[in-house]
Amino acid sequence: MMKTFYSFLAVFFYFSTLFAQYTYVPDDNFEQALINLGYDNVLDNYVLTSNINGVTNLDVSNSRFSDDDIFGIQDLTGIEDFTALVDLNCSINSLTSLDLSSNLALEYVFCEINDLTSINVCANTALKWLICRSNNLIGLDVTSNPALEVLICETNELTSLNVRSNPNLTRLRCGDNKLEFLNVKNCNNYNFDSDVVIGFDASGNPDLSCILVDDAAYSNANWSFKDDTASYDEYCLLPSLTYVPDDNFEQALINLGYDDVLDNFVVSGNINTITNLDVSNSRFGNDDFGIIDLTGIEDFTSLVSLDCSYNNITSLDLSSNGLLETLFCNVNDLKSLNVACTPNLKTLNCDSNELTQLNVSLNPKLELLYCVTNQLTSLDVSANPALVRLRCAVNELTYLNVKNGNNTNFHGDVVLGFEATGNPDLTCIQVDDAAYSNANWTHKDDTASYSSSCYNPLLVYLPDNFFEQFFIDLGLDDILDDYIFLDKVINIQKLDISNKNISDLTGIEYLTSLETLYCQNNKLINLDLSLNTALTYLNCSGNQLETINLKNGNNAKLTYLNTTGNPNLTCIQVDNEDYSNKNWKSDGSKHFCIDKYTKFSEKCELLSITNIKNLSFKLYPNPISEKFTIKLQNGLELKKLSIYNHIGELIKQEKQNTMDVSKLSKGIYFIQVETNQGKSAKKILIE
């Protein structure tokens, strides 16, 4: 009987050990530290997960266990299973990278005096302290750490640092780096520690000339630890380098002569005049995937033709390439494509990707559209009257609108002109004239018919992929197709879409119950909330906003407003200008925070650059100290030259192309040029 019992125990412990979950810890010094702390018993590269997933405090600093050991811990693999960790100290080791994306409870991280070149704290929203000084960090992203109070990152290799999204900061020490750009404009600079040494230190950054802050006067009076070459300002010019993180993209630019060394940066002046760029099939090794990320393309502002086909690009945003006419991005892994701000686009080939939606409604000159072999469920080319060829075969279309008022303009070849085969769920194709299409367009499935009117249920139009994806992630929508059912969104009261890369909030007007909106740190240019009458809270800081319309007839309900970090925002349209000026003051409180150059008005036409013609003129110098001169393009005749201050008041007018501004105060102004063909405007800086 006892023999049977012991046999049972042996089998029980065998299977218990077999199925117990272990955490892989390949670094012997890390595992030895865990053994010394009682979480493990033998050096075998594994630790029982149940021994560590409840640990809240872990100190493995200076983990050297012999006189010959000069490195300590070099690899913290295994830290991901410390899921309850609140306090981590791994200082004084030889770590080269640190990924804390699985440690969501973390509040305190001490990782100073290592060899770190990268640290990932993007998922640590509860993080309060981050001490990472004396490493080799070249980048540090704390935009997703709103609770951050103390950041000590001195003595690294940082070239830029942005703490605009950290309103709870009380200490920032970023001295002895290589900073060229520093943004401390977090709408709460008064919250910093009053001790001049402890609170703020940015000294030892000789290339840093301007530090972006809430109030330059306050910072000059209270923050003395900076280099003499650096000044505080509420507006700083950005460095003239373009960030290109994809090595294959940068290598392609090097091969084309636009760059010299792989360092993630390209001189903007080398690329902002390029009109034609071919980086197709950019593979530089046997196992190379080609270009995955085309970040940096936004500074190719003169680009007319782009070929980035035969790579592995997953998303492509061309909202800054307004002159683009020809785009070949076929044979990639594209899941999103933004061509909304390319009004001159004539040719678009995006065949063989993974696109689930495609918006070409703002491309009126489009002539050729090839989008074969994607995952599109809906396509609307009704706003493209110049189309001569449309090939949208082999998709998942259920809705296709080709009623553009000019179907007879399509190419006469039945294949080249129109092809929509391979869409078995498409039953109706909306066209100008069903009889004409039946006679001339034969390349469709037998299950589809042509009609001048196809049924479409009541839907809300969401042209921005990232905005719609947000609702998909919430389970309110199913696929990226530019639409969501109205009843899914009409009762939403709170919306947090911050840090989502959104550039267009079209559709938000249907959220009539919306009270609270967080949309900070996106790429918004225009924001119209005039139909959101229940709104009480709005944070839209850190975008690229040029216009905000808050004229909803119910401004008295608004209790919080933050519009900072939008350098092109000069005017906010409101119900009552006097009321907003009186009650929405930016006084350092956390309730209302508006940049000094932004004004309130019941009409915002005066300086709305988007409402006047884009007439080409050159202005030099800029920044300006005494005089400036404008040079008009051929055929334009100057009628009037006007200068306005940052709140839209007319300061001076001339009828000649040179103006003396030597007596004006330093700051941001706007130049308006009136010619025989209309008006245009530019922002200037008077030093």
Judged on CB neighbours under 10 Å (0-12, 13-18, 19+), 615 is middle
CA distance from start to end of the chain: 96
Q: Which tokens in the block code for residue 343?
A: 């009004």
512 has pLDDT over 70? yes
The phi-psi region of residue 468 (left if phi > 0; otherwise alpha if psi is between -120 and 50; otherwise beta) is: alpha
191 has pLDDT over 70? yes
- Neighbouring CB atoms inside 10 A of 377's CB total 22
pLDDT of residue 623: 73
- pLDDT tens digits, residue range 155-164? 999 988 989 8
205 has pLDDT over 80? yes
Which are the contacts of 391, defined by CB distance < 8 A and separation ≥ 6? 351, 369, 370, 371, 372, 418, 419
pLDDT of residue 17: 43
Instruction: Confirm whether 239-354 and 477-601 share one CATH topology.
Output: yes
395 has pLDDT over 90? yes
| Confidence category of residue 616, pLDDT binned at 50, 70, 90 | low
What is the mean pLDDT of the segment spanning 23-36? 95
- pLDDT tens digits, residue range 267-326? 788 898 999 999 999 988 766 789 999 999 999 999 999 999 999 999 999 988 989 999
Nearest to 48 by CA among 16, 87, 89, 90: 16
What is the mean pLDDT of the segment spanning 208-223? 90
477-601: CATH topology:
3.80.10
What is the mean pLDDT of the segment spanning 665-682? 74
Nearest to 447 by CA among 428, 467, 468: 428
Q: Between the CA of residue 579 and those of 369, 555, 574, 604, what are the distances in Å?
A: 50, 9, 9, 16
Nearest to 566 by CA among 523, 614, 623: 523
494 has pLDDT over 80? yes
483 has pLDDT over 60? yes
Q: Which of 21-25, 57-61, 73-77, 643-647 has the lowest mean pLDDT?
A: 643-647
Q: CA-to-CA distance for 684 and 146, rounded, in angstroms?
A: 33
What is the mean pLDDT of the segment spanning 460-471? 90
Q: Which tokens in the block code for residue 493?
A: 């009261």
- The more confidently predicted of residues 237 and 152 is 152
What is the mean pLDDT of the segment spanning 457-477? 85
In this structure, what is the dihedral angle of CA atoms 553, 555, 561, 567, given to the nearest 10 degrees?
Answer: 50
Q: CA-to-CA distance for 550 and 613, rounded, in angstroms?
A: 25
Average of per-residue pLDDT values in the chain: 86
Q: Enumerate the H helices of 402-447 as residue ranges.
A: 414-417, 434-440
Q: Which of 113-117, 434-438, 586-590 has the lowest mean pLDDT?
A: 586-590
CATH placement of domain 617-686: 2.60.40.1930
* H or E stretch covering 251: helix 247-255
Nearest to 514 by CA among 530, 500, 534: 534
Q: CA-to-CA distance for 622 and 629, rounded, in angstroms?
A: 10
Q: CA-to-CA distance for 603 and 253, rounded, in angstroms?
A: 45
Q: Which tokens in the block code for residue 135?
A: 């490493």
Q: Which tokens in the block code for residue 44?
A: 């075998």
State whether residue 222 is helix, strand or coil.
Answer: helix
Q: Which of 125-129, 378-382, 589-593 has the lowest mean pLDDT?
A: 589-593
Share of the chain above pLDDT 90, in %: 52
- pLDDT tens digits, residue range 517-562? 999 999 999 999 988 889 999 999 999 998 899 988 889 899 999 9
612 has pLDDT over 80? no
What is the mean pLDDT of the segment spanning 189-197? 75
| Confidence category of residue 8, pLDDT binned at 50, 70, 90 | very low
All structural domains of the chain with their residue ranges? 239-354, 358-457, 477-601, 617-686
137 has pLDDT over 80? yes
625 has pLDDT over 70? yes
| Confidence category of residue 10, pLDDT binned at 50, 70, 90 | very low
pLDDT of residue 457: 47
Nearest to 298 by CA among 503, 441, 495: 503
CA angle 440/442/448 to nearest 5° reads 120
Query: Given 3.40.50.300, 2.10.109.10, 3.80.10.10, 3.40.50.1970, which CATH number is that of 239-354?
Result: 3.80.10.10
- The more confidently predicted of residues 576 and 485 is 576
| Confidence category of residue 649, pLDDT binned at 50, 70, 90 | low
Strand boundaries in 574-677, DSSP class E: 592-593, 599-601, 617-620, 627-632, 638-644, 650-654, 658-660, 667-675
pLDDT of residue 2: 44
What is the mean pLDDT of the segment spanning 101-128? 94
DSSP 524-567: -SEEE-TT-TT--EEE--SS--SEEE--SS-GGG--EEE--S-T
pLDDT of residue 613: 40
What is the mean pLDDT of the segment spanning 675-684? 72
pLDDT of residue 648: 54
Are 142 and 130 a contacting pair, CB within 8 Å? yes
* H or E stretch covering 459: strand 459-461
- pLDDT tens digits, residue range 318-374? 988 989 999 999 999 999 898 978 999 999 999 999 998 888 988 999 999 999 999
Q: Which of 160-164, 184-188, 622-626, 649-653 has the lowest mean pLDDT?
A: 649-653
- The more confidently predicted of residues 356 and 13 is 356
Share of the chain above pLDDT 70, in %: 90
State whether residue 451 is helix, strand or coil.
Answer: strand
Give the strand order in the sheet containing 667-675.
650-654, 638-644, 667-675, 678-686
Sign, CA dihedral 216-199-140-501, equals negative
What is the mean pLDDT of the segment spanning 576-595? 80
Q: Which tokens in the block code for residue 434?
A: 């069903």
Top mean pLDDT of 419-433, 451-465, 643-657 is at: 419-433
Q: CA-to-CA distance for 131 and 119, rounded, in angstroms?
A: 11
Are 451 and 433 a contacting pair, CB within 8 Å? no
The number of residues making up the chain comes to 687
